[in-house]
Amino acid sequence: MKKSSIPSKLTDIEASAQLADLARQIAHHDLLYHQKDAPEISDAAYDELRAKYRAVLAEFPHLAPKDNPEARVGAAPASGFAKVAHAVPMLSLSNAFSDEDVTEFVGRIRRFLSLADDAVLEFMCEPKIDGLSCSLRYEMGELVVAATRGDGATGENITANIRTVKDVPQKLRAPFPEILEIRGEIYMNREDFLALNEQRAKDDEPLFANPRNAAAGSVRQLDSSITATRPLKFFAYALGEVKGDLPDTQSGLRKQIAHWGFKLNEPSRLCKNEQEVIAYYHDIEEQRHKLPFDIDGVVYKLNRFDWQERLGFVSRSPRWAIAHKFAAEQAETKVNNIIVQVGRTGALTPVAELEPVTVGGVVVSRATLHNEDEIARKDIRVCDVVRIQRAGDVIPQVVAVDLKQRPKNSKPFAMPTHCPQCHSLAIREEGEVVRRCTGGLICPAQAVERLRHFTSRLAFNIEGLGEQRVQELWADKLIHSPADIFDLKKHKADLEQREGWGEKSVEKLLAAIEARRNIPFDRFIYALGIRQVGEATAKLLARHYIDLKNWREAMIAAHKEDSPARRDLDDIDQIGPSMVDDIIGFFEEPHNLRVLDDLAKVLTVVPYTKPAGGHAPLAGQTVVFTGTLEKMSRAEAKARAENMGANVAGSVSAKTDFVVVGADAGSKAAKAQALGVKILSENEWIEMCEA
Ligand code: IVH
């Protein structure tokens, strides 16, 4: 049976761990894409992550976090630049992929505005440039602030860099509104991009994946003299905040924009009806290779501003505009090899090394194969001739294999069972499409991410040891394993010499590290970064196993499938089978035990203690709830039991002290009876709570 990536039958805590894990991955890829301009995965793989996130959230809407990644446009501002709050949010556009989608878009506008079928609807049509959106604020005609979109509400202040872009006027040509925000796209011509990459190859610098990444990477330079050397251009196409008079149509605005001194994106056309709009689309699609820049579609904007205003916005996009995307560009080439890359979360991604081929003006020599199911589904093999496509994706995808050209001796591809980087076991869990390296901290691909998690706020909370410093110290071999952090004081002199560190900050960092030599057991567990073990699960484990020694022994005993130790772990309420596998999997790797033991030598892991001042009449007792409780939710009953010091288990065993039986209780009540375990009714339970 094909494994589905859609989760089902998760417990709340598993779902919340999955959401946290997916949100972390999404945030990681958002950061790579929007702030580092160096995406690791294709747009399709990213969309899959978001789809999975949405699927879990649809089943568990009550677990939606405040910073739900689904509500974000782009990424939050990168550090290193000051923040700019946009006076008018910078939104996105919804997409049309077919002529029918366009018909529907036009129909929606007619219905919304209650227009007669024969009322003339004019659309201003422009190419959709693949670059980086930017907002330019002019006060009394002078450029005062330039900002990226960021998350739509707050962007990064990139004024110094934008001042180096020739297409951006420092002063507007009069007359102009008192306040004027111009929005447009920073981009790079294809030819300039290729020349820049050629130079970077000569200088042994990493190449940009495409013109969009090159433009974004150039704008996000902290040193604007570097930006000044990059061939950046700017097209203006929309407005933000405006105080002053404006034309009353989009086409009028374009004339005005040109008058103020901006470049416009051409070829544009004012179309009088839907047929003209669609004809424009096909014309541009034909010409797209002749244009000096990459476009991924065209944009249609309703021409009348009064109508735009009435239509307004829905969620993240205006109702009066749409982006009509071009179909993916395809080419045929040969798969020279299939290699397996390891991402920072340990995910193994197969990648096809291709005979270089030009697709839509860009030379492609690699394609992502996503995962082993995808390879099996398309039956992609080394030496196959394949059709590949770039669908606005940074990394192209393989669409299909040409079986007629397959060599006779070819063999199906087999995914490695061990990590190609650190040779640890790579496992694929039930319901997952991704195979992951279990190497954790000893895997170079994962080490930095794990160390960063280790020092993060909810874990060891070591201020002054963020991602950049961890990366630097890891690369210089000063910290390879978490225990090395507690040895950093040996390298005090070295640290003080480093650029951007200094005596004071090193002193502060070493003090922060010393302050963490005593660490509560639950934080310690969380810091290990075991998959699916978030903050809440770490607390459950700490409460159950009390101290590190006891937990370590129990987890080793739990390696055996049918052991009492495994059942005991499985019995902890809210810990489901997939979590049990992850926790035990962690202890099955000798290097993880080494990490634990090394840490135990340099730290005092403080055993779990019940919150002070508590009334703990049920201390040490194991309770099971079954059936429907009428006077309190299961979550409240559980919290109350835990507050009274009890362990809440998911199933009944001889170790259970009592079972609280609600309405329609099933086999657990029967099992309790058979084992002679004490049974309480809901009322008796409430009396116990109120005693
Ligand atoms: S109009 C309210 N016009 O595409 C949104 N956007 O996918 C106004 N883009 O966020 C945007 N070319 O960054 C507009 N001719 C064009 C565009 C364009 C590129 C970008 C822009 C937008 C994104 C949506």
Check whether 599 has a pLDDT greater than 90.
yes
Q: pLDDT band at 615, cuts 50/70/90?
A: low
Residue 616 located in a structural domain: no
pLDDT at 126: 97
Check whether 361 has a pLDDT greater than 80.
no
Per the CB < 8 A criterion, the answer to whether 155 and 139 are in contact is no
Average pLDDT, the chain: 87
Q: pLDDT band at 306, cuts 50/70/90?
A: very high
Q: Is 669 in the pocket of ligand 1 (CB under 6 A)?
A: no
Task: State whether 314 and 339 are in the same domain.
Answer: no
For 197-228, b/e burial (b = at least 16 CB within 10 A) is: beeeeeeeeeebbbbbbbbbbbbbbeeeeebb
Instruction: Name the pairing type of β-strands 347-359 and 397-401.
Output: unpaired
Does the active-site annotation cover 610? Answer: no
State percent of the chain over pLDDT 70.
91
* CA quadruple 503, 507, 513, 514: dihedral sign: positive
Residue 614 located in a structural domain: no
Task: State whether 565 and 677 are in the same domain.
Answer: no
Q: How far is the CA of 94 from the centre of ligand 1 (A)?
A: 10
Atom in ligand 1 nearest the alpha carbon of residue 237: 3
Q: Is 299 in the pocket of ligand 1 (CB under 6 A)?
A: yes
Ligand 1 atom 23 nearest Cα? 92
Ligand 1 atom 22 nearest Cα? 92
Task: State whether 156 and 288 are in the same domain.
Answer: yes
Ligand 1 atom 3 nearest Cα? 237
Q: Which of 2, 9, 36, 128 is catalytic?
A: 128
Task: State whether 321 and 456 are in the same domain.
Answer: no
For 636-646, b/e burial (b = at least 16 CB within 10 A) is: ebbebbbebbb
Task: State whether 472 and 538 are in the same domain.
Answer: no
Distances (CA, A) of 214 to 208, 211, 394, 544: 5, 5, 12, 51
- Please state the rounded mean pLDDT for residues 429-451: 85
Q: Is 237 in the pocket of ligand 1 (CB under 6 A)?
A: yes
Q: pLDDT band at 68, cuts 50/70/90?
A: low
In this structure, the number of other CB atoms found within 10 A of the CB of residue 31 comes to: 16
Q: How far is the CA of 128 from the centre of ligand 1 (A)?
A: 7
Residue 428 located in a structural domain: no
Decide: residue 66, CB within 10 A, 0-12 exposed, 13-18 middle, 19+ buried: exposed
> Domain holding 41: CATH number?
1.10.287.610
Q: What is the pLDDT of residues 185-236, one digit of tens each?
A: 999 998 899 899 888 877 767 778 788 889 998 998 878 888 999 999 999 9
Task: State whether 179 and 240 are in the same domain.
Answer: yes
Residue 85 located in a structural domain: no
Q: What is the pLDDT of residues 151-195, one digit of tens each?
A: 889 999 999 999 999 999 999 999 999 999 999 999 999 889 989
Residue 670 located in a structural domain: yes
Per the CB < 8 A criterion, the answer to whether 34 and 152 are in contact is no
Q: How far is the CA of 244 from the centre of ligand 1 (A)?
A: 23
Q: What is the pLDDT of residues 442-473, one digit of tens each?
A: 788 888 888 988 998 889 999 889 878 998 99
Mutate to test the pocket of ligand 1, among 86, 128, 270 (most ligand atoms within 8 A of CB): 128
Q: How far is the CA of 92 from the centre of ligand 1 (A)?
A: 7
Q: pLDDT band at 74, cuts 50/70/90?
A: very low
State percent of the chain over pLDDT 90.
53
Q: What is the pLDDT of residues 322-338, one digit of tens each?
A: 999 988 788 999 999 99
Per the CB < 8 A criterion, the answer to whether 469 and 452 are in contact is no
pLDDT at 122: 98
> Domain holding 337: CATH number?
2.40.50.140
Q: Is 130 in the pocket of ligand 1 (CB under 6 A)?
A: no
Task: State whether 164 and 287 are in the same domain.
Answer: yes
Mutate to test the pocket of ligand 1, among 93, 94, 317 (most ligand atoms within 8 A of CB): 93
Check whether 67 has a pLDDT greater than 60.
no
Residue 433 located in a structural domain: no
- Please state the rounded mean pLDDT for residues 38-63: 71
Atom in ligand 1 nearest the alpha carbon of residue 128: 12
Per the structure block, which two tokens stand in for 303? Answer: 């021409």
503 Cβ partners below 8 Å, 6+ apart? 496
Q: Where are the alpha helices (DSSP H) in 9-132?
A: 12-30, 43-59, 99-113
Check whether 255 has a pLDDT greater than 60.
yes
Mutate to test the pocket of ligand 1, among 288, 299, 302 (most ligand atoms within 8 A of CB): 299
Last residue of a domain, which of 325, 345, 364?
325
Euclidean distance between CA atoms 71 and 67, whole angstroms: 8
Per the structure block, which two tokens stand in for 577? Answer: 């089978």
Phi, psi (degrees; rounded to nearest 5) at 50: -65, -40
Q: Is 92 in the pocket of ligand 1 (CB under 6 A)?
A: yes
Per the structure block, which two tokens stand in for 267? Answer: 């070829």
> Domain holding 636: CATH number?
3.40.50.10190
Per the CB < 8 A criterion, the answer to whether 162 and 134 are in contact is yes
Task: State whether 213 and 358 are in the same domain.
Answer: no
**For the chain, how many structural domains are there in total?**
6
Task: State whether 49 and 63 are in the same domain.
Answer: yes
Place of tokens 């196959």: 384
Q: What is the pLDDT of residues 627-679, one digit of tens each?
A: 888 877 776 788 788 778 888 888 888 889 999 998 888 888 888 889 999 99
Residue 412 located in a structural domain: no
Per the CB < 8 A criterion, the answer to whether 32 and 43 are in contact is no
Task: State whether 219 and 287 are in the same domain.
Answer: yes
Domain range spanning residue 554? 520-606
Check whether 382 has a pLDDT greater than 90.
yes
Q: How far is the CA of 623 from the centre of ligand 1 (A)?
A: 58
Q: How far is the CA of 64 from the centre of ligand 1 (A)?
A: 29
Residue 366 located in a structural domain: yes
Check whether 76 has a pLDDT greater than 90.
no
Task: State whether 47 and 188 are in the same domain.
Answer: no
Per the structure block, which two tokens stand in for 461? Answer: 């909370």
Last residue of a domain, which of 465, 495, 516?
516
Q: pLDDT band at 7, cuts 50/70/90?
A: very low
Q: Is 268 in the pocket of ligand 1 (CB under 6 A)?
A: no
Task: State whether 285 and 383 are in the same domain.
Answer: no
